Amino acid sequence: MHPVLKTVVQRLGLGLVTLFIVSIIIFAAIELLPGDFGEAVLGQAATEDTVAAFRRELGLDKPAVLRYVDWIAGAVQGDLGNSFSGRSSSGVDRSRPVVDLIGPRLWNTMFLASFTAVIAVPLALFLGISAALYRNSIYDRVVNAMTLTTISFPEFFVAYILILVLTSLWPIFPSLSNISPDADLLDRLYRSAMPALTLTLVIVAHMMRMTRAAIINLLASPYIQMARLSGASQREVILKHALPNAWAPIATVIAFNLAYLVVGVVVVEVVFVYPGVGQLMVDAVSSRDIPVVQACALIFAATYIILNLIADIIGIVTNPKLLHPK
């Protein structure tokens, strides 16, 4: 087997093992959440027998190991269970499958992440390459100072600053991203502008600094020094010699930041009340809706692991030592 294919298969196997371990951690962490769904629905006046019968109906009286096996077996088959939110103490069961609840929310989250990535990735590459091209100049110092300032602030603080500036002082965008399912593309873009702008500021800062560092690191290579000795200008050295060899680390940086983007939307969605998976997960935690919390956490974990595997595979397939073994 070719070394590249062998290494990729090993990474994929490691990713599956990692996802299995993460699923155990998710299930165990949710088990430790305070409160009880049965007591929350029935109220404090409910007797112990009533609560026990209600928990038996939900399957919460089973041992944790059996409930984990049932959950993970269903998840492998695409069945994430039914939401607890439709159940009531009167015996009426209006619960919906978790997949039906997450489907529209996941589409909204992926739309927001894609919208942000389309803006953030080209902007970060431009700023990173231009900052490396004019290293130690005033432009480089200003860009670095701005990105460092953005990185220093948490997402929710950046979001509140943008709300203050762009919705209160200058009312350009709405402060709440309440998107309806039948909204057209332009309306979605307009209402998603504020959360997308918040995520863009954070993602651009990370990608720009890493892109700049990757190119500057390559500028110390012997072939770059040879290009300079041959009379190539600084622009030609970066664009023709350094940049083609920097695509592998840059692609890895982009994949890592996209993984952070998909997982990091939780806080931003809550601030702007954006109807995504992050907002759904927070609401489910508040109502002790265990199946929804487990499904949302598993989706975030799987997305993060898959994008990290893609970044890892990109680094593997572009490694000359593996592509041309002796």
With contact defined as beta carbons under 8 Å apart, do 256 and 207 qualify?
no
Give 321's pLDDT tier (boundaries 50, 70, 90): low
C-alpha pair distances (Å), 296 with each of 6, 26, 60, 127, 145: 32, 10, 19, 34, 36
Give 320's pLDDT tier (boundaries 50, 70, 90): low
The DSSP secondary-structure symbol of 297 reads H
Hey, CA dihedral for 184, 277, 203, 310, is it positive or negative? negative
pLDDT of 203 strictly over 80: yes
pLDDT of 279 strictly over 80: yes
pLDDT of 284 strictly over 70: yes
Mean pLDDT of 216-231: 78
pLDDT of 184 strictly over 60: yes
Mean pLDDT of 80-87: 71
pLDDT of residue 28: 87
Question: pLDDT tens digits for 105-126?
Answer: 888 888 888 888 888 888 888 8
Residues 6+ apart with CB under 8 A from 4: 316, 317, 319, 322, 323
* Between 19 and 317, the higher pLDDT residue: 19
Does the pTM surpass 0.85? The reply is: no
Question: pLDDT tens digits for 31-65?
Answer: 777 666 666 666 666 677 777 777 777 677 778 88
With contact defined as beta carbons under 8 Å apart, do 215 and 237 qualify?
no
Tokens of 41: 């629905």
Mean pLDDT of 144-173: 85
**What percentage of the chain carries pLDDT values higher than 70?**
86
Kindly report each contact of residues 214-222 with a partner whose C-beta sits within 8 Å and lies 24 or more positions away, as own/partner.
214/128, 214/246, 214/249, 214/250, 214/253, 215/128, 215/129, 215/132, 215/242, 215/243, 215/246, 216/132, 216/135, 218/242, 218/245, 218/246, 219/132, 221/245
pLDDT of residue 137: 87
Q: Facing residues of 97 across strands?
A: 82
pLDDT of residue 88: 53
Question: pLDDT tens digits for 234-269?
Answer: 777 777 777 767 777 777 777 777 777 777 778 888
- For the chain, list the domains and their CATH numbers: 1-96+287-326 (no CATH), 111-286 (1.10.3720.10)
DSSP for 221-242, written as a single string:
SHHHHHHHHTT--HHHIIIIII
Mean pLDDT value across the chain: 79
pLDDT of residue 45: 64
Mean pLDDT of 205-224: 80
Phi, psi angles (nearest 5°) of residue 136: 70, 10
CA distance 135 to 270: 39
**What percentage of the chain carries pLDDT values higher than 90?**
0
Mean pLDDT of 72-85: 80
Tokens of 55: 């928990």
Q: Residue 265: which of 108, 38, 118, 142 has the closest Cα?
A: 108
Q: What's the distance, CA 225 to chain centroid?
A: 39
pLDDT of residue 42: 63
CA distance 279 to 189: 19
Give 324's pLDDT tier (boundaries 50, 70, 90): low
pLDDT of 187 strictly over 70: yes
pLDDT of residue 303: 85
pLDDT of residue 255: 78
With contact defined as beta carbons under 8 Å apart, do 235 and 244 qualify?
no
The H-or-E segment that residue 84 falls in is none
